[in-house]
Structures are given as C-alpha cells and as structure tokens.
Amino acid sequence: MIRRRVVVRGTVQGVFFRASCQQEAARHGVAGWVSNRPDGAVEAVFEGEDAAVEALVAWCRQGPPRAAVDAVEVAEEELEGLRGFGVR
C-alpha cells in the first residue's frame, strides 16, 4: 500500500477532471480525494495498492479528453488509511 499526492497543472479545471478522476479511482479501488486549487491546478491524494495508485498517477498525466496537462508533481506521503474517494 502506498500514498501519493499529485498536483496537476494546465487546463484541468472545468473539463470534468475531478469527476473523471473519481471514476478512475473507483475503477482501480483507490481511496483518497481530488480538489480544484485556487491557482488553477488540481490536487489529489491517492492511497491503495502500488499498481493501482501508479495507474492513477499515470492517468493524471493525460486526464480526461478535454484536459490539457502541462505538468504533474508527485510526492510520496505516509499512509493515513483513507476510505472511499471524494471530490472536494
């Protein structure tokens, strides 16, 4: 089990990034949350099996069809034992 915090920059707000991310997380069985940031980026936290979390991080590099991802920052964090996946 691992935890990653991801900040995605580019055209990522107003393109269903959060809703699509929530669907991907459910598909992979990953817990956490995703949120729009005031600076125009999207921030997310993923917790789960290594391969599932890495799949979500990889998905963030492209995002949903209307997104244009310019950069993705990924940070390792300590597990908190999150359950479910929320949109903030």
Prediction pTM value = 0.94
Looking at residue 86, the DSSP 8-state letter turns out to be E
Residue 9 lies in a domain: yes
Whether 9 sits among the annotated catalytic residues: the reply is: no
Neighbouring C-beta atoms of residue 75, cutoff 10 Å: 10
Query: What crossing angle do the helices spanning 50-60 and 17-28 adopt, rounded to 10°?
Result: 160
Contacts of 22 (CB under 8 A, 6+ apart): 34, 85, 86, 87
Active-site entry in 36, 37, 61, 88: 36
Whether 36 sits among the annotated catalytic residues: the reply is: yes
Per-residue pLDDT of the chain (88 residues; tens, 9 = 90+): 999 999 999 999 999 999 999 999 999 999 999 999 999 999 999 999 999 999 999 999 999 999 999 999 999 999 999 999 999 9
Residue 87 lies in a domain: no
Question: Which structural domain range is residue 14 located in?
Answer: 2-82
CATH classification of the domain holding 13: 3.30.70.100
Whether the CB-CB separation of 67 and 15 falls below 8 Å is answered with yes
